Amino acid sequence: MRNTWARAWLAAIVLLVAAGAIARSRHSMLLEVEEPVMDWLLDGTDTSGWERASALSSPWLIIAGTIFLALVALFLEWKVSLAIVFTSIFATVLASVVEGIVDRPAPESGVAGSFPSTEIVQTGVFWGLVVLAMWWIGTPRLVWQIGLEVAIVIVLLVSINLVVSGENWPSDAVGSALVMAVALILAAIVFEAFAPRVPWLKKREPVEHSVAA
């Protein structure tokens, strides 16, 4: 499976580079598609309902949650605990670096650095780590798969909130997803390599069987 993870990671890197290049050099082309959408969203549309999604991306929630995950993992395998912290920091740094390189202005404010959205990246990576932790400790497949679906919904809600509030373009969310993939694939490699050494924890199902199912 490590070769599969490696190929997936390289594919995510290539797609991220390609998406960043398009966002930087073909910004006007993207605007032809995205500006009508943003004009419709920002022209008198009631977006107050989406603002509730901001609680799901609260910095305090993400920081406290990441620390909690790292502490729980520390009692089982320190390398996984370190991977949790590293993944969170790496994702934020990577998003910031790409933001600086692409230098794409936000829809309403015009401030550079909307691609990718650091807020979406941090939210997605945190909830992705939660799902990985659920799988790692051996929760039933149905449980962590439901957790995965919930995590996807949360990221979508946060992404939509940022788009309808005029902070990000729709394509910025795509770039954010690629940054999330790059970070979480690295975390998955570590999670898979170090099984928790606790007798009462249920043995994890092989990734191949889980994916195939």
Q: How far apart are CA 206 and CA 187, in angstroms?
A: 16
List the Cα angle 71/144/11 in 5-degree steps: 90
pLDDT for 48 equals 61
Q: Is the full-model pTM beyond 0.75?
A: yes
pLDDT band (50, 70, 90) for residue 126: very high
Q: CA nearest 179: which of 65, 92, 84, 81?
A: 92
- Structure tokens of 75? 């009692």
Residues shown for the chain: 213
The overall average pLDDT reported for the chain is 82
Q: CA nearest 147: which of 90, 80, 69?
A: 69
Q: How far apart are CA 187 and CA 82, in angstroms?
A: 10
pLDDT band (50, 70, 90) for residue 41: low
What is the Cα gyration radius of the chain? 18
- Structure tokens of 57? 């991306």
User: Which bin fits 190, alpha (ψ -120 to 50), beta or left (φ > 0)?
Assistant: alpha
Residue 194 sits at φ, ψ, to 5 deg, of -125, 95
What is the percent of the chain with per-residue pLDDT over 70, rounded to a whole number? 82
What are the b/e assignments for 25-50, b being 16+ CB within 10 Å?
A: eebeebeeebeeebeebeeeeeeeeb
Residue 111 sits at φ, ψ, to 5 deg, of -70, 135
